[in-house]
Amino acid sequence: MTRPILETDGLTKRFGSLVANDKLSVTVEEDTIHGVMGPNGSGKSTFFNTVTGFYRPDGGTVRFDGEDVTGWKPDEIARRGLARTFQIPSPFEDLTVKENMLAVFTGGIRSGVRISEEKRARADELLELLEIDHVADQEAGGVSGGQEKLLELGRILMLEPACVMLDEPTAGVNPSLRNRLLDHLETLNDRGTTFVIIEHDMRVIADVCDRVTVFNQGQVLVEGDFESVTSDERVRDAYLGGAAEHDASLETLIGEGSNASTPEGTGDADTGATAAAGATPDAGTEPTPSAGGGAVPADGAGEAAGSAAAASTASALSGIGAEPDGEPWLVGEDLVSGYGNHRVVDGVSMESRDGVTCVFGPNGSGKSTLLKTLAGVVPAWEGRVTHRGVDVTHNRPAENVHRGITMLPQDGGIFGDLTVRENLLLGGYTVDDGAVREERFDEVLSSFPELEGKLDERGRSLSGGQQMMLSYGRAMMTGAEVYLLDEPSSGLAPSLIDQVFEMTRRLVESGAQVVLIEQNVREALRIADYVYILAQGQLQFEGTPDDLTDEDDLVELYLGLD
Amino acid sequence: MRSSFLSDACCREAPAVALGGVSGAPAGPADALGGLAALAGTFDALGTHAVLGLSLPSPTIFAQYFVFAVLLGGIYGLVALGLTMIFGVMDVINFAHGALMVVAMYAVLVFSDATGLSPFFAIPFAVVLLFVLGVVVYRSTIAPIIDAPQENQLIVTFGVLLILVSGVEMVFGSDPQQLGLDLGSLNIAGVFVPQGQLYALVIALVALAGTWLFLQRTMLGRAIRGTADNRDGAQYVGIDVPRIDALTFGIGAALAGLAGGVIPLFQSFTPALGDQYLINAFVVVVLGGLGSFPGAFVGGLIIGFIQVFGSAYLGGSTYQIVIFMAFILVLLVKPEGLLGGSADE
């Protein structure tokens, strides 16, 4: 029971300057279900890929079942007994479910020539076990998303692996099917199969995992059972955003890891960081007390500096003539949307309010999809969206921009091949009056003086921080009254986060309502006026930041616990 | 080889006939490429009074080839312009481009015959007609599947090609047609410059400059470039992407109309001529860089030079091999094309 079946020692994988896996040492005991969790980009999928031979490690070893399998090819590792699934199932769509099972190459070239009775029997047994035998003769391309996941698992089990690595097995699977899947996992586990699963749904981790390893920034943050892991302060920091600069003890604990790897991950953003800090010295000079649970809504740092600028910018930037009136301008009711046959947003009602409306939630909870549904990028399957009382459910994003609703996509969405000037001018594409456009152009430049010297450079040549400024500036050129911001701080050096919030406040001060998605919950709570928390595509909480004083509640809501 | 050109040296319509003989296809369509090469051979022969053999050419002959190469390259650049624009903005490989050119050629013919006016008046007519046709083709066939995999659009445009070319063939037959226009040639210090092609080159350059100015200086042009750059980003600033797509396809088709409209100035044409131009236009676009406007002209000139000098100094159709070797070489060394992707640096 205590024999380790899979061990990695100092496993390292780099992509250029990004260290995706930084000396990971993980031990999986035989006959356990081992959970791997960690925030977005913490290196979980890379770990799977490196262990199972899809990536060549840059350092360290992988031992499986007492044998060193470092550098083996994926198929060799799979036949050795270490199998895996992928986040997105990829069955042979034109074959039937059963044929998919039989198509698994179980060993030796002969298995490809004649299918043994034994293999057929095993396929039938597995189909029955996974309760997908009723669709055995249907084409795999036609089964539901959940059945696809089960088929993926079944195909892997055809190899009779000793250990199976599952990459988000329950993502996009409805709750009843999820429970079935988990039952199957436990049954198979009882029969002696070891599982390693990447999972975002904390209920799954809590239900089935014997042991949990938490990754952060490519390193192992904590390892232990679920209770001890989720109550660990470092895990909370990893998920809710570190408040390291305010807490010396935390800094010493995780400071090394985060400081070492973040700037590398964001590439040239750090050069922008220093430049940006020079340009706006007001940002971050006033440390805001947010280390504890007490969220300070809105009126904190940077406001004094921001409001002076805002007083002058308000005139041209709020081109629609917006003035806060206490009414929600953009309202979504019972929205359901998703991709293909995956329901991502499952009946969410939310509205934009005066100030900053924050949407929090773990990775995969449907935040971005919700925002895109509001903006008209992803069509709503059910429910409706209204803007100032007018139904805009079926509007395209461009039509919404005309109405005064714009969105900043996660990558900023700037035009990389166009110059900064052209980017900004295109921001005013919907503005017919050239004079207004000129005026706004000047206002934006005075808000972001750093861009002024770069007007004739291409968008892609800017640093990460400058690109983000350009993205904000371009959005301001549209003269929107509702801004939908999809994680503007993602991919930026931590030192720039203050600046992102500063710019977000500035939008508010120009009279706009802002909906903000943010991973760094603790930081974002500083500027939030209203909070929605999503998990599994459903609303878990809505209210003012004051209602969130107990951080334990926040953790539970955020991690999607009941 | 040279002698087969010589026999037709006296008549302007030589290319079609000469090529038909060379390729061995009875009553086959005029090969535009071979046709121009033959034209080059023709003037070579005139200039040197039929010097046979492999003696080095005189400066005059060389200048003559050079002029032909530039003229031919300009036409290729013009043909490639619309193709590269549609690809750059919409990621659609428009197989119907050559067919649109064919429609324009016959539109010029019909317009000239009907009105009795100079074909130069017919060219703007063809451009406008093709713009409308382009928008109609886009809205009816490509818009519904713009988000489908790229090969779907490729197949659809191929279908459009078949419909258009077959339609033209049903109405006008597959015999070569010509405008019966005798523009003659300029003789500059012993170098002949055929006026039909010269006008075509001038029109091509004006089209390039006009399109470039439109794209660089107008808000609509910027919106097209922005859409080409980042389709998602474009919608967030209020650009109606489907409308920009329709406009782009219309402009691309109008440029095909311009290219098709100028070709009758110097060449007889058949419904199959579009395909022959299209194949080289694809090479031009890839050589120059997909989506790159200057690249289209650089690529066009490269192909023009290879073709004219290749057919003059290498035997038979060897130049075709050289063209595709250059093509493969560029794909190996700089797959994004000579002027493509330079923005990354």
Q: What are the pLDDT digits (tens) for A397-440?
A: 888 888 889 998 888 888 988 899 999 998 888 888 888 888 88
Is A490:A520 a contact under the CB 8 Å cutoff?
A: no
Cα–Cα distance for residue pair B79/B100, rounded to 1 Å: 11
Cα–Cα distance for residue pair A43/A45, rounded to 1 Å: 6
How many other CB atoms are there within 10 angstroms of residue A453's CB atom? 9
Q: Which residue has the higher pLDDT, A276 or A237?
A: A237
Q: Which residue has the higher pLDDT, A558 or A526?
A: A526
Q: In the prediction, which pLDDT does B32 show?
A: 42
Kindly determine whether residue B238 and residue A415, on different chains, have CB atoms separated by under 8 Å.
no
- Across A379-388, B189-198, B293-302, least confident range: B189-198
Task: Locate A514 and state its tokens.
Answer: 């802002």
How distant is the Cα of A125 from the closest Cα of chain B, in angstroms? 38
How distant is the Cα of B236 from the closest Cα of chain A, in angstroms? 6
Q: Could you say which of B230, B235, B343 has the minimum Cβ distance to residue A398?
A: B235
Neighboring chain B residues of A417 at a CB cutoff of 8 Å: 225, 228-229, 343
Task: Locate B276 and state its tokens.
Answer: 């022959």
What distance lies between CA A260 and its chain's CA centroid?
21
Is the minimum CB–CB distance between A369 and chain B shorter than 8 Å?
Answer: no
Pairing of strands A59-64, A211-216: unpaired
Residue B42 has pLDDT above 80, yes or no: no
Q: Which whole number is the average pLDDT over A66-81?
A: 86
Q: Could you say which of A377, A423, A458 has the minimum Cβ distance to residue B343?
A: A458
Which residue pairs from B166-175 have beta carbons closer than 8 angstroms and sit at least 24 positions apart in sequence?
B166/B271, B168/B99, B168/B102, B168/B103, B168/B106, B168/B271, B169/B271, B171/B106, B172/B106, B172/B109, B172/B271, B174/B29, B174/B270, B174/B271, B174/B272, B175/B27, B175/B270
Type of residue at A492: L
Residue A13 has pLDDT above 70, yes or no: yes
Cα–Cα distance for residue pair A316/A318, rounded to 1 Å: 6
Structural domains of chain A, ranges and CATH numbers in brackets: 1-81+161-241 (3.40.50.300), 89-160 (no CATH), 271-275+298-558 (3.40.50.300)
For the full predicted model, state whether its pTM sits above 0.80: no
Residue A214 has pLDDT above 80, yes or no: yes
How distant is the Cα of A417 from the closest Cα of chain B, in angstroms? 6
3-state helix, strand, coil in chain B (%, to 5): 75, 5, 25
Task: Locate B298 and state its tokens.
Answer: 């650089």
pLDDT 10s digits, A344-369: 888 899 988 888 999 988 767 888 89
Domain that holds residue B95: 2-344
Is B336:B84 a contact under the CB 8 Å cutoff?
A: no
Q: How many residues does chain A have?
A: 562
Neighboring chain B residues of A402 at a CB cutoff of 8 Å: 238
Q: Which residue has the higher pLDDT, A392 or A549?
A: A392
Average pLDDT of every residue of chain A: 77
Q: Which residue has the higher pLDDT, B231 or A249?
A: B231
Kindly determine whether residue A418 and residue B235, on different chains, have CB atoms separated by under 8 Å.
no
When pLDDT is cut at 50, 70 and 90, the band that residue A309 belongs to is very low
Which ranges constitute the DSSP H helices of A67-144?
A: 74-80, 97-102, 117-129
Residue B20 has pLDDT above 60, yes or no: no
Q: Could you say which of A399, A413, A430 has the minimum Cβ distance to residue B232?
A: A413
Q: Which whole number is the average pLDDT over A475-485?
A: 89
Is the minimum CB–CB distance between A375 and chain B shorter than 8 Å?
Answer: yes
Q: Which residue has the higher pLDDT, B66 or A411?
A: B66
Q: In the prediction, which pLDDT does A109 show?
A: 54
Which position has the token pair 């296809």? B25
When pLDDT is cut at 50, 70 and 90, the band that residue B52 belongs to is very low
What contacts A82, CB < 8 A, 6 or more positions away? A6, A51, A52, A64, A65, A69, A161, A162, A163, A165
Q: Which whole number is the average pLDDT over B167-172?
A: 93
Q: Which of B217, B227, B236 to mutate to test the interface with A (most CBs of A within 10 A)?
A: B236
What contacts B224, CB < 8 A, 6 or more positions away? B89, B215, B244, B247, B248
Q: Which whole number is the average pLDDT over B179-197?
A: 79
Cα–Cα distance for residue pair B77/B83, rounded to 1 Å: 10
Q: In the prediction, which pLDDT does A484 show?
A: 92
Q: Which whole number is the average pLDDT over B109-134?
A: 90
pLDDT 10s digits, A266-287: 334 344 334 434 343 443 333 3
Average pLDDT of every residue of chain B: 80
H or E stretch at A46? helix A44-51
Q: Where residue B95 sits, what CATH number does that domain have?
A: 1.10.3470
How many domains does chain B divide into?
A: 1
How distant is the Cα of A460 from the closest Cα of chain B, in angstroms? 8
When pLDDT is cut at 50, 70 and 90, the band that residue B128 belongs to is very high
Q: In the prediction, which pLDDT does A324 show?
A: 66
Neighboring chain B residues of A429 at a CB cutoff of 8 Å: 219, 222-223, 237-239
Cα–Cα distance for residue pair B107/B177, rounded to 1 Å: 12
Kindly determine whether residue B343 and residue A460, on different chains, have CB atoms separated by under 8 Å.
yes
Say how many Å lie between the first and final Cα of chain B, rounded: 47
Across A499-531, b (16+ Cβ under 10 Å) vs e yields bbbbbbbbbbbbbbbbbbbbbbbbbbbbbbbbb
Phi and psi angles of residue A224, each rounded to the nearest 5 degrees, phi first: 170, -170
Residue B106 has pLDDT above 90, yes or no: yes
Neighboring chain B residues of A397 at a CB cutoff of 8 Å: 235-236
